[in-house]
Structure 1
Amino acid sequence: MVSKPASEYARETLKQIAARRLQPTPDNYQAIYDEISGQLTQPAFPQMRLRQIARVMPGQTPGQQRLLGQLEAAVEAQDWTALQRTLVGYAALGVTPVPVAVADKPGESDALNTVFAEHLARLIDNVTASLGEDDERVRQLGQELIAWLRQPMPALPETEKLLSNFSYRLSFAAEDQSAIRATLLMLLHMVFDNVAVLSQDDAWLQGQAQALRDAAVPPLTLRRLDDVQQRLKDVIFKQSESKARAIEAQRQMRELLATFIDRLAQMDESSAAYHSQLSHCAERISQVADLQALRPVLQDAMSATQAMAQKSQAMRTELHELRQRADTANAEIERLRQELERTSAQARHDPLTGALNRKGMEEALRREISGSQRHDAPLCVALLDLDNFKALNDRYGHAAGDGALLHLANVTRSAMRPQDQLARYGGEEFVLVLPGTTLEQGVEALKRLQRELSTHYFLSNEEHVLITFSAGVAQLAPEEEPASALRRADQAMYLAKRAGKNRVVAA
């Protein structure tokens, strides 16, 4: 067969994919390329998987240790032949189970191995410490059991008895801790709800209360709490800064109003004095006998009129300035109010990706469900889960994992319609709310997003990494609750994972 340039094989492969109406996935492309070129592409060597297997292979005996070294060397060299030879050696060698309890002397078969007893004592010590000071009886039983386990070769029957008593008491303590935690969360929610009710007119305080409510929703993780704490600190700082400026603007407004009222009072007093002077002049005019005596009266009347005109002009100018300052202060108050509302709204977004958090997603779903029912339009929700996220974290680090989540969110936003909503559901899971979309259209939209993501590689430490996701899509039925649709989408997403990942399944 005459060999052709790789570019010709590639063009022909794309033509065949289009002619056969196949999805342009990497697997389909590779299969048709191999068919056209007549060559079988060697599959990638699963180095990472084999290293994970090597870490759990037994290495207690010298023979096992020797074969384990050969296995690691074969994986490092990506040598299939050496790998096969090593696995055959393991099969021939066999694996001897390591006993938990070993008898060092005759008659000691009912005693625990000292090393195993120490591991058990450490476990009980850690469990007891995690309970705090709430249950003194559990602590006492735990200390007794630890002291017993740390003596030489503790007897198995007595160990079983002490361990049974400890675990029985521990079960009650665990139930108490669970009930205490649930009650504390309920009390916190009551406090947050009360704060929200009492601050209906303070949008900035509403946002903080909502952020605290979101933080107190199980399951709780330290990373989630740290993220919310940092986000809340930023919001509180911005809100306190904006609130101080708003209070200052309101103070200036009150001062302006007080000055305005004072000037009006002065104008009233001046007007009354002017009318009194004119009345006095009129009375003097009625008593004047000749024109010569009339001159000083007219002079007084003209002087009063000029003084009143000057005062009126000055008052008019000052009131105009007061009005301008009041308009400026009012505009500043409105600007600060909008800024506070924007700052408060940040508590409804995920701090890493900028997508909606769970609370923001619930609000968006309520709005879209209401609009869907009002206009009799379809509505879909899709649940996306990043493929191989744990492996990506293990290989490149958590910073790269966060970058991959941000990359997925940015690509998704760029490919979304303006009316679509993206929310981070938790960990590496995202939810897409697709208004005016049928189930078939939703599946096709997610497939388009997969193709878009395949054209944008994620860069980590100068290495291009292809990010993929598996997704489930569900169309809300009439009167269906959002939680039910999300569960169906989650089940469909799980099927997509089981089917090989980088797939979209309709619920």
Structure 2
Amino acid sequence: MDFAKSPSDIARETLKLLATRRLTPSPDNYRALYEEVAGTRSAPQFPATQLRQILRVMPCQTPGQKRQAELLEKAIAQQDWSMLQNVLVGYAKLGLAPAPVPPVHSASIDHLPHGLAQNLVRMVENALPALGEDDPRIHELAAQLIAFLREPTPPVTTAEQLLSNYSYRLSFAAEDQAAIRQSLLGLLRLVFENIAALSIDDAWLHGQAEALLTASTPPLTLRQLDDVQQRLKDVIFKQSEAKDRSMQAQSQMRELLATFIERLAQMDESSGSYSEQMERCAERISQATELKEITPLLEEVMAATRAVALNSRLTRAELQDLRERAETTHQEMDLLRQELDRASIQARHDPLTGSLNRKGFDEAIGREIARARRQGKPLCLALLDLDNFKSLNDRLGHEAGDDALKHLVLVTREVMRPQDQLARYGGEEFVLILPDTELTEGVKAMERLQRELTKRYFLKEKERVLITFSAGVTQLEGDDHADAIRRADQGMYLAKRAGKNRVLAA
């Protein structure tokens, strides 16, 4: 009858084996012999300490090495044997050429569907421009993969191997591009912060620099970058204008100062000559013995005095003129700064409502048309006109009409999306640019704006005034915005004819 060994028996036999085999009585040796005697085997202990020692001496210069080191650290923290194996294999593959494509011998091999292969080709081609030209190897692998996928019947196994090689290299290239993008964004923000630091005395430039910092905060979109570019152009224009005018003012002030010093020198020289002449006359008067000798001396003194007085009056008049010119120069600089501030705002915005003006609209719609064509997304325009605006002006006054326009713009900004842009097209007509919007969605958006206007009455002298509008909405289909405006205007006209406070598709 076979009885199981007790723990004490197993321990005695383990100690005997340690002595017999002349092994060091360490915990690891004891555990191994104990399991041998007991006939059991525990799960191997994860070598976290040893692996961390290896991690400390592993090279981490390239993005690929850094990525594998991060994965190894994660595998150690989770004590994951499978992850550890993948990390070691991945690290061993760094710098090696991709595995050769196995030859195809069997006639019964699965092939990629043609549609899937073409979609993969487009995916690879579309990804390449974002990777830059720093890694020629990724472009070689991409070219190899594209050429293979364009074959009539590409085998699945070969495609899988080529995709694996390409995606492995792609992960490193993407990491590099992300790091480059982050570094460039950091440099851009440093430039904006420097502009803000150097423009403390110029409120407009400081405000624009703050806006640039806000616009360049991730996550970025192409629309944000367009806004950053436009704002930076405004800043550069303002700085160049201010710099040129400042240099002119400095030149004028230098000329005024030089003239001032010259006049002071002339006054000093004139005073010195007058003093010397007076001293000579005084000495001659003291030596005179007869009245007839004194008379010409007195005439000389009077003539010299009149000359000095006249010269002083002329010099004082010139200095007064210099002071007035200096004050005028300062006033001109202040006026220029104010004009530039107004011009920078009014260049693209309507001064009454703050919405875009015609110039701002032309620039905005040009950018949105280019983006819609590039991305293949829809773009809509809505032309709206306030209903009964003339009667509102006649009944409540033009100031009330202006306030009604401001009220419409305020509600529109609160209701519409951030990417929707409003422009005053003329009088009480406004245009809304609706990116990424189909025609039916554009009509619904304008109807939603109409409903919000009915909920928010415009108050004028305690009178609640309901503001409504008629609108035409159209979708751009490869044409320019002038044709779209004409279609939207026709739709708006029909909405007016149909009873006002309506939205019609055109």
Among 455, 460, 467, the residue aligned to 1:447: 455
- Distance in structure 2 (CA, Å) of the matches to 1:454 and 1:277: 88
Aligned to 2:492: 464
- Are the aligned partners of 2:385 and 2:492 in contact in 1 as well (CA < 8 Å)? no
Aligned to 1:276: 276
Query: 1:188 deviation in Å?
Result: 1.6
Q: Where do residues 41-60 of structure 1 align in structure 2 (5 Å cutoff)?
A: none
Specify the SS of the correspondent of 1:458: strand
Decide which moves more: 230-239 or 330-339.
230-239
Percent of residue pairs bearing the same amino acid type:
51
Query: 1:424 deviation in Å?
Result: 9.3
Q: Where do residues 6-155 of structure 1 align in structure 2 (5 Å cutoff)?
A: 110-155=110-155
- Distance in structure 2 (CA, Å) of the matches to 1:203 and 1:326: 24
- Are the aligned partners of 2:285 and 2:297 in contact in 1 as well (CA < 8 Å)? yes
Q: Where do residues 14-413 of structure 1 align in structure 2 (5 Å cutoff)?
A: 110-203=110-203, 205-206=205-206, 209-210=209-210, 212-342=212-342, 354=354, 398=379, 400=381
Residues 161-201 of structure 1, C-alpha deviation per residue, up to 9 Å, x if partnerless? 32233233323332332232122212221232123223434
- Distance in structure 2 (CA, Å) of the matches to 1:173 and 1:118: 23
Change (3 A) 1:399 1:270: farther
Specify the SS of the correspondent of 1:400: strand
Residues 275-306 of structure 1, C-alpha deviation per residue, up to 9 Å, x if partnerless? 22222212211111111111111111111111
Q: Which has the larger radius of gyration?
A: 2
Change (3 A) 1:299 1:452: same
Query: 1:208 deviation in Å?
Result: 5.5
Query: 1:331 deviation in Å?
Result: 1.0
- Distance in structure 2 (CA, Å) of the matches to 1:290 and 1:198: 77
- Distance in structure 2 (CA, Å) of the matches to 1:229 and 1:319: 48
Specify the SS of the correspondent of 1:220: coil
Residues 61-120 of structure 1, C-alpha deviation per residue, up to 9 Å, x if partnerless? xxxxxxxxxxxxxxxxxxxxxxxxxxxxxxxxxxxxxxxxxxxxx965711233432332
Query: 1:412 deviation in Å?
Result: 8.2
- Are the aligned partners of 1:232 and 1:347 in contact in 2 as well (CA < 8 Å)? no
Query: 1:154 deviation in Å?
Result: 1.1
Change (3 A) 1:227 1:197: closer
The amino acid across from 1:462 in the alignment is Q
Q: Which has the higher contact order (CA 8 A, sep 6+)?
A: 1
Query: 1:146 deviation in Å?
Result: 1.6
Specify the SS of the correspondent of 1:309: helix
Change (3 A) 1:175 1:405: farther
- Are the aligned partners of 2:205 and 2:235 in contact in 1 as well (CA < 8 Å)? no
Residues 314-338 of structure 1, C-alpha deviation per residue, up to 9 Å, x if partnerless? 1122222222212211211222233
TM-score by length of 2: 0.51
- Distance in structure 1 (CA, Å) of the matches to 2:406 and 2:202: 34
Aligned to 1:428: 420
- Distance in structure 2 (CA, Å) of the matches to 1:348 and 1:272: 63
- Distance in structure 1 (CA, Å) of the matches to 2:306 and 2:282: 17
Residues 39-62 of structure 1, C-alpha deviation per residue, up to 9 Å, x if partnerless? xxxxxxxxxxxxxxxxxxxxxxxx
Specify the SS of the correspondent of 2:492: strand
The amino acid across from 2:420 in the alignment is E
Change (3 A) 1:305 1:285: same
TM-score by length of 1: 0.50
